[in-house]
Structures are given as C-alpha cells and as structure tokens.
Structure 1
Amino acid sequence: MLKSNLVFFITAVLICGSLNAEILEIGSFNTPGDANDIVVVGEFAYVADNQAGLRIIDISNPEDPAEIGFVDTPGSALSVVVSGDIALIGDGPRGLIIVDISNPEEPEVIGSFADECIINGVAIDGESAYLSDVIGGFRVLDISDPENPRQLAEIETPDVAQDVFVSGNFAYVADRLSGMIVFDISDPSNPEEVGVYNSPGEAMSIAVENNIAYIADEIDGLQIVSVRRPEGPSRYGRLDTEGFAYGVAVSGNYAFIADGSEGLKIVNISDPREPELIGGFDTPETSYKVAVSDGLIYLADGESGIRVISAIPSIDISHEDLEFEPTNLNSSLSRTLTISNEGHS
C-alpha cells in the first residue's frame, strides 16, 4: 500500500496587544516599618520604610528577597531615588537625607537639608535634586556636593505637593487637589511654572513617557495627559482603577498602578485615549508605590513590606476550525495564520 505524507507549511504571526497573563506573587519581604516607596536598581531594591528609614533589599533571587543593609533616618522615610552611589530620601518633617550606598551593606548618611519642610517626593537630574514639599511646594537643590546640599529655588504651590517627576527640561509636580503643575527647569536656579492640568481627583504621583503624563489621581484612578505642549496639558484618557491610585510606573505599553487597598492594577496604554484595565493582584495591605524591573513588578505595600509580582504571558487560541482545500500527493500548500490577542494589534 502506498504511503504518503501531506505537509502543510504554516507561518504564525503573533500580534500581542492586551497582556494575557497569569499574575502571581513570587516573593515578598516584610520590612520592619511601613513600605512607602521603592526603587529597583540592578540587584537591589531601595525601600523608603517610613519610621524604619531606608532598607536595602537584595533581590538577586526575587523569590527570596533578603535585607542586606539599612540606615535609620531621623524622620519618616516617605520617598527614595537613587543615582550612582547616593540615595536621596524624602524624610518627611526632617527634610532631605542623602545616603552613601556605595557599600549597600553599610549605607551611611552623608548630608541633609531641612528648612521648615515636609518632603514627600524626590527626583534627581544630574547635580540637582527636585523636592515636593508639603509646606514650601516645589524646591530645587544643588547636590553637586552631597555633603552640603544648598537650595537654589523654591516656588509655593496652591495645594499639597505630594510627588515630583523629572523628564527632560521639565518637572511635573503632583499637587493633590491642584492637579499636575509643570515647571520649566532648563535653568534649575530659576524654575518657571509653565502649565497646569486640573485633575478631577487628587494627584498623588506622576510618570512621564513619550510626552504623555500618567497621573495616579487617587479616587479618580489613572489620568492620561498629553504634555507635548507643556504650557497646555490636555487629557487623552482616564480609567477608574477601582481603588485609590497612589503610585504609577510605566513600562512599554503598560501602566502599573499601586491602587491602595486594591493592590496592583495593570493597564494597557497602547492607545492612551482608550486605556484598558487588563489585570490586577490583591495585596495584604495598602499599595503606595510601584517599580518595574527585568519583567517583574515590585510593590511598596505598607505594613506588609514589599511584594514581588510576576505577570507570565500566555496565548489563547480560538477553537474554531482551520480548513484547507484538498491537496494532491507530493505537493504542498502554504497558509499564513495570524494569532491575535483580544482583538488588538
């Protein structure tokens, strides 16, 4: 009996739009204080741990994070940013604390700035630090000598300056009930307010990517705002995150929201005019800030410390039949099969 193999050549084109993934916690570390903010650099996570100061966590094995160093700060560590061998801590009523982290096992306070201020947020660009201050509004410091920081400028904001983000020649201040305030910082010693976006909620945190600002707007969720014209920010889209959006980070086509008691929310922002909530993860406590590094998501989750979250992509293929017309022996037939995810491209 004659035997023959019919061979079909199929070229698969995968178009990934929405993230179709299993979201799960792969690791955690319960810090001694209340984790308010987190920054990930290389194999270390730096945690602003409120009353417990700065904690440095080794995340080389993200399934088993381990603390390797810490430094007590005199106030309440509410925010942290890292540049090279220094970490800047927004230490609440004790101002700005500057820490040498060249040896992460023995971090050392080397400088500070306190001037009747309550520092909630910190950003750094070159030799300048930008502070959001509950009392003074927006401050700019020269940190070229980190042991002796000095103030370059101070501009009062209408409400409570909660956080600050720097991108290019602009600083974006989350000013709670006053929304987002945009400052031109091309001359750090003479910043100039150039634009305002009055968000409907309370602007708590901001991330800017490709001339788009993503505002964690507390009860009003995620606000997406064009800042292509900094003097006239305009809203692209918004999304109700279901909780209180306190923190936001952006990576690729996704925004990651620290959504208070609702934990983590993941939003598809490939079309900023139509953001889509595509996943989430409930955490034990209150998620305040979020960082993304090497495909993993790190949450500062208040009393429960830090949580390490993985979103493992999967592909759903429909069960519809794939039909070919009859094919002769010793011949071939090719087809292109396009697999799409959630109908997005």
Structure 2
Amino acid sequence: MTKIKTRKQFLGIVFLTIIFTSSNIILSSAFIETIFPQISTKDTTIIIENFEDTTFKASTTNAFGWGTGTVTNTRNATVIPLDFYQTKNPLRDIEVQGRKVYAAGYNSTFAFQSLLAFNINDPADIRLASARTSVSEFATLTVSGDTLYGGSIRSKRIYYYNITYPYNLHGTGVYMGGFTIDGAVTDLEIQGNLLYAAVFNESSSRSFKIIDVTNPRPPNKIITTNFVSPNVLGLAVSGHYAYLAASSDGLYILNVTNKYAPIVLGHLNLPGNATDVLLDGKYAYVSLAEEGVALVDIQNPLNPQLIDLCYTDGIATRMALQGNTLFVANGPHGVFVLDVAEHDNMAHIVTYILPYVYDVDLYGGTVVVGTEEGLYTMQISAIGGGITNIAKTVYANAFNGLQAWDIRVIGDIAYVAGGPDGIYTLNIRDPNNPVLLDHLPTNPQVVFRRIDVQGQFAYAVSNTTVQMFDIQDPANIVNVSILSLGNNLYDIFVDGSFVYVTWQKGGFGLFNFTTASMLNWGNKLDEPHFGTNITAIWVQGYRIYAVDYSGLIKQSFFMFDRLTPTAIHQTDEAPLWGLNLDLKVDGDVAYHADTNWCVLSNVSDPTNRQYIMVLKDNNGVYINSTAVWNFGPYVLTASPDGVYIVNTINFNALTSTMYPNTQGALAITTAGDYTYIANRTSLIILRHFKSAADTYIKETNTAESTTIFTMPNGTISAATMDYEAWVPAGTF
C-alpha cells in the first residue's frame, strides 16, 4: 500500500464518498471523517491506494495504476444490532422461511446440533426453536415448505428432513433419508420438483447434479449432467436457466430445459474463486472470495458481460439483496454492504465487523447473519430509515396509462396484467418515474386477471386462457403459446415446470410444462374439484393452498399436498367468511384477504389450520382487505380505505400506518424498498422501507490525478486528486 495525498477543493463542509471505479477503490465518507471530521476548502487527507489497476490510467500521466474517479454524495447508513444467539457450532449456511431461520451447524468431528431452527418473529429476541444432532461437516441447506434438504462435505451425502414441526427437529419422523453423491455438497437450490446441487471436486469432474424430488423420500433419481467442471461451488436457478459459480472457472450459464442434457449457453472468466450467484433480473452478482464481488449482465445468456468489480477486503462468500443494497458475507471482515443503485459503479456503504461471517439472509428489512459464533440479527438502513410511515411517504407515484389488475416485479422490471388492456412491462428502476417498455394489447373479450413470472417467461391468466410470454427482452414481449381452458379462470401460480390455474367454477388444474412454449391440455396432471369460486392459490414446497369466494360463511380455505402430482390429496379445509380475494403463504403463516377482514392463520400442520388473528388498525377497528402481502413481520393489505402496513411482531399490540388513495386495489406486492399496488385503473408505488443505498443521489463529478512522484519502475508513490466544487442536492 502507498499513501496518496488528496487535495479537496470545494466550498463549505460536504461529506463525500470518493469512488475510483477503475481500480475498485472505495473510500467511504466514514473513513475520511475518521481523519477529518470537518473537511473544508483545500484540506489534505491521507488515503490508502494499492495501484493494482491500469485500465483507466489518466491521459495526463505516465504513472502506473492511477486515473479518473467518480465523486458522489455519501450514503447515510446506520447499523442497529438487534440480537445474538450463541451456538455450539459455526453456522455455515442459513435460510429464512417465514418467521423461522434454518441453519447448518458445521463441525468437522461432531454432529451435535448440526441442524437448527430459530424463531425470529421478533428479530430483537432470537429464540432457538429446536436442534437436531445429525451429521458432521453439515455445510449447506435449502428449504421448501416443510421439507429441508441438507448437504455434507465429509460424507458426500444429501439428506432430507421433514420440518413440518420446527419446534421438534429432534423428534422421530424428521429424518427422511439420504443418499451418497460423489463430491463435497457445497450448495443446493430447489425449483418445482427438481433439486439442483453443486458437488465440488466430483471425481468425474461433473460437479453439477440434478435430483428429481417429486416425492421427497429417497430413493430419488440422481441425474449426472453432461456439464464438465470439478469446480462448482454455488448456483442459482431461474426458470430454464442455471447459473453456476465454478470457482477458478468463473461463471457458467446453462439451459436446463432438458434436465438430462443441459446446454452451456455462456461462460465468463472472472478473477478469484467464484463461490455464489445471486440473481436480480437481468443482472447476477457473483461472490469471488478474496477478489470481492462481480456484477454481470446476463440478459443475453449467450454472452454474459462483466459490468463492475468491487474489492471487499475479505472473503466474499454469500450475498443477500434488499432493493439497491447488497449485503455480502465477507468472512473475517464481517458484513460488507454495497450500494448497487448504479450498476456500473458499486459503492461501499459500511462494513460491520462480526466474528467470521459465512452467510447472510433477510427477514423483511432485518439482516440475518450466520457466523462462527452463532446467529446475529441487525438493521442496516439509512439513518432514521427502516420501515416508513406510508401515510407520510414521499411517494406515491403512479403509472396511469393502462389498467393494472396484477403485478410481479423482478429486478428493475414490473410485469403487469392489465385486465382488458392486455400485458405490459415497466422499467421501475427509478420508482419516481416508471417508464413503459412494451405493451401487448388484447381483444375486448379477453381480460388478463393474474400474472406470474419465472425465468425468461411470464404466464398470464385471462378469463378464458393461459398465455405464455417470452420476456427475455422486457422491451419486446413475445407471445409464444396460448392454452384455451374455457370460461371462468382466475389465478395462476408457477413453480418450476408446474403451473397451477384456478377456476371460478371451483377447483384448480395442475399442468406440467417441461418444454418452453408448449402449453397444451395434454400436460394436465390433475384437476381436483372443490369450492365454488377459487380466487387465489399459493404453493410452498409440496403444499398447495387455495381460497374460495362463495359469499357464505363455510369451508373456504383449503390445503393439499402434491406428493403424487397426478393424485393431489386434500389435507384440510377450514371456515372463513367466504369473501376471499387474495392469499399469500410465507413459512407457517397464511395471509388471507377476505374482503371485510385480513386474516392470519398458522398452517405449520397441513392437516390442522389454526386461526391466529384478524388485523385491526390503531383504533381497534377491523381492516378490510382485498389484497395482501407481507414483508417479514409486516403485513401490507389493501382495502377500500387505502393500503395499510401492520406490524405483527406482537400479535397483542398491533401498530399500523395507512396510505388512503388506493381504493381500487386488486393486488399488492413488494420488491426491495417499495410496494406496488395494482389499483385497477393505475399502478401505484409506495415506499415502505428506507435502506442505505436509496440515499444515493444521481449526480456525479469526475476527478483526475496528477502525479507528484513516481518510482523508477513507474509506480506512483504520491499524487494529488483535484476536482471542481460540487454539492449534490440533498447533501448537508
């Protein structure tokens, strides 16, 4: 490292972040303020620089490794530690589902408490639900409903667990079996009825496996794919594509439509060792161990492009994304937080030092961290940020050009079912200015009610058809298939190759669409009949949940299992008020929008739904509900009065705020810091969370170095950085 003298020339006291994109040098304002709490005109600061990058060498100097940079406003960040639970073993992998965290406790010798479940309903009060002594070197897991899949490095096996009762992991009937797989199991992901496994250092160099888990009890069919590399450490799957972090081999993109013969579409060499992949629409974040984090444009899977690299000064392994804030498990250097608002200019916000950090996940706006000493929860947000009072939000913004009946948000794109206005896409990267990208109108007889998105395809249900759209380019929607199913269709849910469609006449159909652009009635697996008007369906693992709009107080909430997809079995039904319009299930809590009520149910036991509560506002008045979603423990529900956000951490002391101008809401969802309401005549955008990254202000100024002294080998030992006066709006 070499010290650089930087002369700052601007008026007044302005705290800035200096970002040298050319060599991934991030100098946060916190670092600068540590040296000079008040920076004024012509102050000089000592800054550390390693001079490793020559790409953007300034034209005015022949010195090695120094060039232009970008100046932006500081990101206002605060870290609020919430709780810590010490464990017997390091937590190598964690996953949040609903209000629980499941963790892999790693020990190279002992198996004591190697599988753990925590209750984080109140993130300031972590409680161990139960633990199981299972297997040593338990390194990875993934959760799908009431089934957990785990992988071991030493035994080279994959294990299955029934976690229907998370408070009884030590009990009988939890362990369902396992099987040996050649190689160290380092990552697992499930989509539909297929389990995808990263199996590092497999003897035949085939380290990417696919396992058919249509029935979760082994034995299962292990598909050794034709992909050749011994180095896969991490993976992500979306629709027909798998993204493989292959250590020193970089990033691979595979088409896995044919699970027996995946096709390599694209490959990108990356520095360091690629350990994990996190998808965000057209972008993928790849952790690179000691080389930090890479941002890759994957919109064209045949030609992935490196957009940016950021050195994290640690060992980047796993990641989690909250809007424009990226949290990186950074090994010995804690949690490294990045602002990714500008994709070509990732910026360091803050580093929070903890014992060795292996993994990070999110519970709404709470950051959950697995470390060598146990489980941490914390809030990392803008100063004074976190959950907002939506009654006083600086938004709402709206797109009024077309009707909005349902919405899904992936990355920067909103996919909207527009009722009689067809299907359309919006660029919502700037939620203050949603921009129409493409619009496919429909004829007057077709009304698109619901939409779901998976990978490169969107699936929309109208009153008479299911239609499939290629959305790889959101600015060019292509209708690839139409399946006519008669009248009275209402809702749709996509999970891997399984597509669920509900009928207003009662019941739903399960279809298996394994081949892209091939929707046909012959793909129907089963069609259970029940109820009178099934308005919403949700799928979590092997469990199917549906609600009925009957107009009567009767059995109107239904639960099924699909262990045999051709013979779906009903496990329970329960009475509600019979005016159900929407449904969401997250972990062991179901959220029902029942027109006059918003109801919460415990569905941990699939044979015995338990009533929890009906939501009330701050005055104790029941909240009407036509659409519902959740953000961790916060419930967002739309009603004729407006949109409520209700804090349900304490069921006996609910608190809420309400935004009034959404009386026509048909659907609601969240993505990042924002809530999106399909309000029939328009799309409304509210802000429910204020993260650190969203304090970014889109104004920049470049700076360029001037050499003071160079060494005989051409490297700089001292330089100045001069830039013009610049005070970004909103900086104080």
**TM-score with structure 2 length normalisation?**
0.40
One-letter amino acid of the counterpart of residue 263, structure 1: G
Q: Partners of 1:341 and 1:50 in 2: how far apart?
A: 38
CA deviation after TM superposition for structure 1 residue 189, in Å: 2.9
Native 8 Å contact 2:226 2:261 kept in 1:
no
Matches within 5 A, 1:22-41: 22-41=78-97
Paired residue for 2:197, among 127, 131, 134? 131
Matches within 5 A, 1:1-345: 19-51=75-107, 52-94=113-155, 95-107=157-169, 108-134=174-200, 135=202, 136-148=206-218, 149-283=220-354, 285-302=355-372, 304-314=373-383, 341=695, 343-344=697-698
One-letter amino acid of the counterpart of residue 139, structure 1: K
Tell me the secondary structure at the aligned position of residue 196 of structure 2.
Answer: strand
One-letter amino acid of the counterpart of residue 307, structure 1: Y
Native 8 Å contact 2:227 2:262 kept in 1:
no
One-letter amino acid of the counterpart of residue 344, structure 1: K
One-letter amino acid of the counterpart of residue 68, structure 1: A
Tell me the secondary structure at the aligned position of residue 182 of structure 1.
Answer: strand
Native 8 Å contact 2:182 2:199 kept in 1:
no
Q: Partners of 1:33 and 1:158 in 2: how far apart?
A: 31
> What do the CA deviations read for 1:56-106 (whole angstroms, capped 9, x no partner)?
011112122111122233342111111111011122233111111001012
Q: Partners of 2:212 and 2:278 in 1: how far apart?
A: 23
Moved more, 145-154 or 272-281: 145-154
One-letter amino acid of the counterpart of residue 262, structure 1: H
Tell me the secondary structure at the aligned position of residue 91 of structure 2.
Answer: coil
Native 8 Å contact 1:267 1:275 kept in 2:
yes
Tell me the secondary structure at the aligned position of residue 118 of structure 2.
Answer: strand
Match of 2:470 in 1: none
CA deviation after TM superposition for structure 1 residue 46, in Å: 0.5
> What do the CA deviations read for 1:295-322 (whole angstroms, capped 9, x no partner)?
01111112x1111121242269xxxxxx
Q: 1:32 to 1:200 in 2, by over 3 A?
A: same
One-letter amino acid of the counterpart of residue 141, structure 1: I
Native 8 Å contact 2:195 2:211 kept in 1:
yes
Match of 1:13 in 2: none
Q: Partners of 1:159 and 1:280 in 2: how far apart?
A: 33
Q: 1:165 to 1:295 in 2, by over 3 A?
A: same
Native 8 Å contact 1:153 1:188 kept in 2:
no
Work out which structure has the larger RCO, using CA pairs closer than 8 Å and 6 or more positions apart in sequence.
1
> What do the CA deviations read for 1:200-239 (whole angstroms, capped 9, x no partner)?
1110111011121101101110100011111211111111
One-letter amino acid of the counterpart of residue 370, structure 2: A
Q: 1:57 to 1:270 in 2, by over 3 A?
A: same
Q: 1:260 to 1:225 in 2, by over 3 A?
A: same
Tell me the secondary structure at the aligned position of residue 288 of structure 1.
Answer: strand
CA deviation after TM superposition for structure 1 residue 111, in Å: 2.6
CA deviation after TM superposition for structure 1 residue 18, in Å: 6.9
Tell me the secondary structure at the aligned position of residue 105 of structure 1.
Answer: helix
Q: Partners of 2:381 and 2:695 in 1: how far apart?
A: 15
Q: 1:157 to 1:75 in 2, by over 3 A?
A: farther
For structure 1, list consecutive stretches of 5 or more residues without a partner in the other structure. 1-16, 317-339
Native 8 Å contact 2:246 2:252 kept in 1:
yes
Native 8 Å contact 1:23 1:280 kept in 2:
no
Q: Partners of 2:225 and 2:153 in 1: how far apart?
A: 17
Aligned residues: 304
Match of 1:321 in 2: none
Q: Partners of 2:190 and 2:345 in 1: how far apart?
A: 32
Native 8 Å contact 2:225 2:259 kept in 1:
no
For structure 2, list consecutive stretches of 5 or more residues without a partner in the other structure. 1-72, 108-112, 386-693, 700-732
Native 8 Å contact 1:99 1:109 kept in 2:
yes
**TM-score with structure 1 length normalisation?**
0.83
Native 8 Å contact 1:239 1:275 kept in 2:
yes
Cα RMSD (Å): 1.9
CA deviation after TM superposition for structure 1 residue 168, in Å: 2.0
